[in-house]
Amino acid sequence: MLSRVAEHLYWLARYVERAEATARLAIAASDTILDLPDGVPYDWESLMQVFGSGDSGPGISEAEVMEQLVLSLEHPGSIRASIASARENARVTRDLIPKDAWIALNELHGLIERQSFAGFDRSTRIRLLKQVISNCRLWHGCLVASQARDLGSLFLRLGDRLEHADMVSRLVDPRVTQMVPGVSTRWSSYESIGWQNLLSALGGVELYRHSARNRMRGIDVLDFVLRDDKFPQSMAAALARVDLLLTQLPHQRVSTDSLESIVDDLKKLDLKRLTPDVLTQNMDCIQQGLVTLHGNISSEYFFFQSNNR
């Protein structure tokens, strides 16, 4: 397989996963606002900082944040930008992905492009976000049902799981949840709401409850989404899948030192002695480790470097 084609498939999967994860985050944040009593603020500025937007500041509103996360083409992490990039990568690899997956992606692209900033109220936004998640799930279903289990499939799955691990690290950042287990904050009285919405963003509420956990305790939720490898959307499960996929790549040339370091740090993380700064620093380290791993994969398999990466 040409390195250029492998890179397009890898980024195609990353962008689709990024779009779905951002949609889940946006719904969870909106649900949190609805669940909280009047007068309990949500720090939208911090949320935008976690997701890498330079166009935010004190006093930024929910509507402004959602426009940036969903519809802005200037914010590279927005759903609209992610879907546009996914579609471009899919366009040049159409012969290697199922026709139904290509159709699902095109429908999603059209759905986003038809939505204007005007009239983008909360109910319209939630409806759009649910359609984004549904179409992304349809895309994944098409790959599972019809994608050949070949080298192209390996790069698709590798990109998907690397992106997912990165998104989990951002979702658990205290600047998003605005809570840390055992640390008193202005949200402490509404702790269960915040932790449940974190689980909801990962589609894990039911599985969490089925795992013999009767209470929405912060320590248990973080342990579940970070280290429970039985939960398919946990960071541990994503990293385990990445490790397996790397062993199946040709020549096994990629150094896994950074991956092993991430896994070790995750196991050693003391959830009972966390502070907001410590948790943020740990998640930042994980993100840097994932960047290093991506660099190793890129240097070994992707010789064509596009300007828009």
- Residue 286 has a pLDDT of 93
Flag whether 99 is in a domain.
yes
Q: What are the DSSP E strand ranges found in the chain?
A: none
* 25-77 pLDDT tens trace: 888 888 877 877 777 777 787 778 777 665 556 678 888 888 889 998 888 88
**Contact status, residue 23 vs residue 52, Cβ threshold 8 Å:** no
Asked whether residue 212 carries a pLDDT value surpassing 70, the answer given is no
Flag whether 307 is in a domain.
no
Q: Is the dihedral of CA 175, 16, 193, 204 positive or negative?
A: negative
- Find, among 192, 191, 194, 188, the residue nearest to 171 by Cα: 194
What is the share, in percent, of the chain residues with pLDDT greater than 90? Answer: 48
Flag whether 165 is in a domain.
yes
Classify residue 251 as exposed, middle or buried by CB count within 10 Å of its CB (0-12, 13-18, 19+): exposed
Average pLDDT over residues 108-126: 84
**Contact status, residue 158 vs residue 245, Cβ threshold 8 Å:** yes
Max Cα separation, the chain? 58
Flag whether 21 is in a domain.
yes
More confident residue, 118 or 65: 65
- Residue 254 has a pLDDT of 77
pLDDT band for 308, please (50, 70, 90 cuts).
very low
* 2-17 pLDDT tens trace: 788 999 999 999 999 9
Asked whether residue 175 carries a pLDDT value surpassing 60, the answer given is yes
* 230-279 pLDDT tens trace: 999 999 999 999 999 999 988 777 778 889 999 999 999 988 887 878 88
Asked whether residue 1 carries a pLDDT value surpassing 90, the answer given is no
Q: How far apart are CA 240 and CA 238, in angstroms?
A: 5
Flag whether 296 is in a domain.
yes
Flag whether 70 is in a domain.
yes
Flag whether 83 is in a domain.
yes
CB 148: neighbour CB atoms within 10 A?
11
Q: How far apart are CA 234 and CA 229, in angstroms?
A: 6
For 177, residues 6+ apart whose C-beta sits below 8 A from its C-beta are 171, 194, 195, 198
Range of the domain at 214: 3-301
pTM of the predicted protein model: 0.90
pLDDT band for 178, please (50, 70, 90 cuts).
low
Asked whether residue 309 carries a pLDDT value surpassing 60, the answer given is no
How many structural domains is the chain composed of?
Answer: 1
- At position 225, the amino acid (one-letter code) is V
Q: What is the mean pLDDT of the chain?
A: 85
Flag whether 306 is in a domain.
no
